[in-house]
Amino acid sequence: SQKIEQNSEALNIQEGKTATLTCNYTNYSPAYLQWYRQDPGRAPVFLLLIRENEKEKRKERLKVTFDTTLKQSLFHITASQPADSATYLCALGANFNKFYFGSGTKLNVKP
Amino acid sequence: DGGITQSPKYLFRKEGQNVTLSCEQNLNHDAMYWYRQDPGQGLRLIYYSQIVNDFQKGDIAEGYSVSREKKESFPLTVTSAQKNPTAFYLCASSIRGQTDTQYFGPGTRLTVL
């Protein structure tokens, strides 16, 4: 069965540094990958989508890469701020009935 | 304001009772989804609907039922057959398909006593 792995340990970084989160997957060939932000007790909020034929996508301080050979996506937040502290979820999809979320990685940005 | 609403925010039910969670959107989106999230876990797809009067099972549909009689509404019923119903339930919608941005409602936290 398919498996999506995000680091379950929290990532702690200093304000101003670049945060890099990893999403690895096995037994799956997604057509696209999405990243969401989720604050405690709140719903996820969509951040970025990247398709299998795209290597990199950027939006303001966010950058996502997608390596279908390594079966991995990296999510970067540059010049991180305490307000970026949250749990970040990756989600992979091929079609409607093959869409899966990872369990998320908690990011703590310290001032 | 356009958006997606879920009610209630918190719901308590006795074991063995069916309960229906509301999800309404005024974004004119075709597709709607229900997810379940357990503590420290990712979201798991329960049901989805691409169009009115049509819906499909996701990975964990057992013990749940849905209807899509109107474009704006996609209620989820948690039946007594669902063995472990206590969870955070999230409804989402998108313009057409899952490659489109999914907009989530605020969620309903269901506790079965």
Chains A–B, number of C-beta pairs less than 8 Å apart = 56
Sorting pLDDT into bands at 50, 70 and 90, what band is B95?
Answer: confident
How does pLDDT run across A89-101, given as a tens digit for each residue? 999 887 655 568 8
How does pLDDT run across B64-76, given as a tens digit for each residue? 999 999 999 999 9
Over its length of 111 residues, how does chain A's per-residue pLDDT go in tens digits? 668 899 888 999 999 999 999 999 988 888 889 999 999 989 999 999 998 899 999 999 999 999 999 999 999 999 999 999 999 999 988 765 556 889 999 999 999
d(Cα B23, Cα A111) in Å, to the nearest integer? Answer: 38
Q: Residues in chain A whose beta carbon is closer than 8 A to a beta carbon of chain B?
A: 4, 6, 8, 31-32, 34, 41-46, 49, 51, 89, 91, 93, 95-97, 99-104
Segment (H or E) for A99: strand A98-101
pLDDT score recorded for residue A27? 80
Count of alpha carbons within 13 Å of B43, Cβ hemisphere only? 34
Count of alpha carbons within 13 Å of B20, Cβ hemisphere only? 9
Environment class of residue B30 by beta-carbon count within 10 Å: exposed (0-12), middle (13-18) or buried (19+)?
middle
Number of neighbouring beta carbons within 10 Å of residue A10: 11
Among candidates B42, B44, B97 on the partner chain, residue whose Cβ is nearest the Cβ of A96: B97
What is the DSSP annotation of B61-98? -TTEEE--SBTTB--EEE-TT-S---EEEEEEEESSST
